[in-house]
Amino acid sequence: MALAATIFKADVQITDIDRSYYQQHALTLARHPSETSERMMVRLLAFMRHADEALSFTKGLFEIDEPDLWRKDLTGAIDLWIEVGQPDPKRIMQACGRSRQVVIYSYGRNSELWWKQAEPKLDRARNLSVISLPPSVCQSLAELAERNMQLQCTIQDDQIYLTAGDKAVQVDMGQAVRKSTEAI
């Protein structure tokens, strides 16, 4: 018998001063049994950074042809493809061919090694941005994870301030960018 996903609810208030985006989102995240709290919270961070009414979580780990998040236009074409982790460069090059913009949120203790090996293969991608999150940030994000979350997210000058009750996490996105081909 396969283990079922654990459902997490997140009520997120987003104040993105950089993009003039001010919205509240009631999100449901299905956490795969093999997914860690760090990975789930990095997915949530990616959502907050690119928040849009058309941005949605996909089946991700359950479906190999889908990213973790995507935004499609009204014709069904993929406008934004977001991957979390250390994806295979071949998969990312295919995603770059299918989407207008691809963003990878890399994290974990092997993130540096992954990037060192993947960079030469991904160098020719012209619509790819890679963000490498430090382990300390990911650990702090994981500590915010609860089955029912109330989060406030403020984004200004490439800084993300995330609070939940008396806990707070700051992410300097300017220092996390490894490769950027377009404003994200």
Tens digit of each residue's pLDDT (9 = 90 or more) over 62-103? 667 899 999 999 999 999 999 999 999 999 999 999 999 999
- Tell me the pLDDT band of 178, cut-offs 50, 70 and 90: confident
- 147-174, pLDDT tens digit by residue? 999 999 999 999 999 999 999 999 999 8
**Is the model more confident about 139 or about 175?**
139
The pLDDT of residue 148 is: 97
Q: Beta strands of the chain (E only): which ranges?
A: 6-16, 21-31, 55-57, 69-72, 78-84, 99-106, 128-132, 148-156, 159-164, 167-172, 177-179
- For the chain, give the mean pLDDT: 92
Q: Which domain holds residue 80?
A: 6-179
Q: How many domains does the chain have?
A: 1
Domain CATH number, residue 34: 3.10.640.10
CB atoms within 10 A of CB 164: 18
Encoded tokens for 117? 């090996």
CB atoms within 10 A of CB 127: 16
Residue 1 lies in a domain: no
Contact 168, 64 (CB under 8 A): no
The pLDDT of residue 61 is: 60
Residue 120 lies in a domain: yes
Q: What percent of the chain has pLDDT over 70?
A: 95
- Tell me the pLDDT band of 2, cut-offs 50, 70 and 90: low
Residue 132 lies in a domain: yes
The pLDDT of residue 77 is: 96
pLDDT surpassing 70 at residue 1: no
The pLDDT of residue 184 is: 47
Residue 51 lies in a domain: yes
CA–CA dist 98, 92 (Å, integer): 10
Q: Summarize the confidence of residues 110-117 as an average pLDDT.
A: 93
Encoded tokens for 46? 């990616």
Residue 158 lies in a domain: yes
Q: What percent of the chain has pLDDT over 90?
A: 80
Residue 184 lies in a domain: no
